[in-house]
Copies of this chain bind each other. A is one copy, B any other.
Amino acid sequence: MPRNKQVLLDNRPQGEATPSNFKLVTTQTPALQDGQVLVKHHFMSLDPYMRGRMNDAKSYAQPQPLGQVMQGGTAGEVVESRSAKFQPGDQVVGMGGWQEYSVVDADKPGMLRRVDTTHVPLSHYLGAVGMPGVTAWYGLVKIIQPKEGETVVVSAASGAVGSALGALAKARGLRAVGIAGGADKCRYVTEELGFDACVDYKQHADAASLSKALKEACPNGIDGYFENVGGMVMDAVMMRMNAFGRIALCGMIAGYDGKPIPMAYPQLLLTNRLMLQGFIVSEHMEVWPEALKELGTLVASGKLRPRESVAVGLESAPEAFLGMLKGRNFGKQLVKLA
């Protein structure tokens, strides 16, 4: 069996996460048992939710266990199989974690999914045609439930979730407005992703200033908001929401370092009769087939052109992950392993 490099969570962050929270080790992959397959990872996914799980706090998921391989999505190839369901050479997506290989109980439902890379590159199954894409789909279709002609706003618009949100919104005849950090990202959001407008939050020192820019970008106000970041950005959007607006709350990256980030104007939830729903997409598996079908078609037809930031080699994962939390990535953050 091959040698397997792994990244473990060595200790929990005190405030901001640092490289010293992680530990790189090398092991041997164990021999397969009946029903198992060995997957060689080509790509692993780095996602903001992982930061939340590094804390030992009550949250939607169990905390990432200490001393264990960092959990996360992976895309790769079956290299050995003792399952009748998978053959060597199959391209598959699963939750292999931060390591080069994983041994998977492939006969259990939901552990591994075979994917077709004829029209969609393998890596996109970790982004636009994977968990981030379905997250955007669920928030837009099931929570925001937009009506044609309405305006939807998404924060972190150039990222994996945001870019899918934009394509899904445009496919529904909506005005799609992004919020992103920096001129390059904003240009990508409007020129490549087809958003109608993008506001660069880095140009604004406070919520009032950002809110003014949003007013220009959203002349009819904001009907739906897909929230990835929290903090000042959320405050600014809330100031522009129309009566009966809907907020899909998917992430609050601004608060992941443990310091609570207050919501400045909760009374707007009342005065504008807003609906806000927190969610985590893995609790809504029933929508995945429908969502993945639409997202796959959008990518295959070129209507959704996701961008990727690709770090190379397992060793690069911690730095790439910490950089992503600071917005240094551009599009979906991946680590290429093979």
Mark A residues whose CB is within 8 Å of B.
52, 57-60, 230, 234, 243, 249-252, 255, 260-267, 269-280, 283
Chain B residues whose CB sits within 8 angstroms of the CB of A252 once the complex forms: 266-267, 270
How far, in whole Å, are A276 and B267 apart by their CA atoms in the complex?
12
The SS class assigned to the A binding surface is loop
Partner of A266, one of B58, B243, B261: B261
Chain B residues whose CB sits within 8 angstroms of the CB of A261 once the complex forms: 266-267
Whether A60 lies near B273 (C-beta < 8 A) is yes
Known: A60-B243, A243-B60. A267 touches B275 (CB 8 A): no
Known: A60-B243, A262-B262. A273 touches B267 (CB 8 A): no
Closest approach, in angstroms, between the C-beta of A228 and any C-beta of chain B?
A: 10
Smallest CB-CB A-B distances: 10 pairs: A262-B262, A263-B263, A263-B266, A270-B278, A269-B278, A273-B278, A59-B271, A276-B276, A255-B267, A275-B277
How far, in whole Å, are A269 and B276 apart by their CA atoms in the complex?
8
- Additional pairs, 8, CB under 8 Å, beyond known A60-B243, A273-B280: A52-B271, A60-B272, A260-B266, A262-B262, A266-B266, A274-B276, A275-B275, A276-B277
Chain B residues whose CB sits within 8 angstroms of the CB of A230 once the complex forms: 266-267
Candidate in A230, A263, A275, A278 with the most chain B CB atoms within 10 angstroms: A278
Whether B269 lies near A279 (C-beta < 8 A) is no
Whether A278 lies near B271 (C-beta < 8 A) is yes
Whether A272 lies near B266 (C-beta < 8 A) is no
Whether B273 lies near A262 (C-beta < 8 A) is no
- Which B-chain residue is minimally distant from A270 (CB atoms)? B278
Whether B272 lies near A275 (C-beta < 8 A) is no
Closest approach, in angstroms, between the C-beta of A282 and any C-beta of chain B?
A: 11
- Which B-chain residue is minimally distant from A283 (CB atoms)? B273
Closest approach, in angstroms, between the C-beta of A237 and any C-beta of chain B?
A: 13
Chain B residues whose CB sits within 8 angstroms of the CB of A279 once the complex forms: 273
Closest approach, in angstroms, between the C-beta of A6 and any C-beta of chain B?
A: 28
Whether A262 lies near B264 (C-beta < 8 A) is yes
How far, in whole Å, are A283 and B273 apart by their CA atoms in the complex?
10
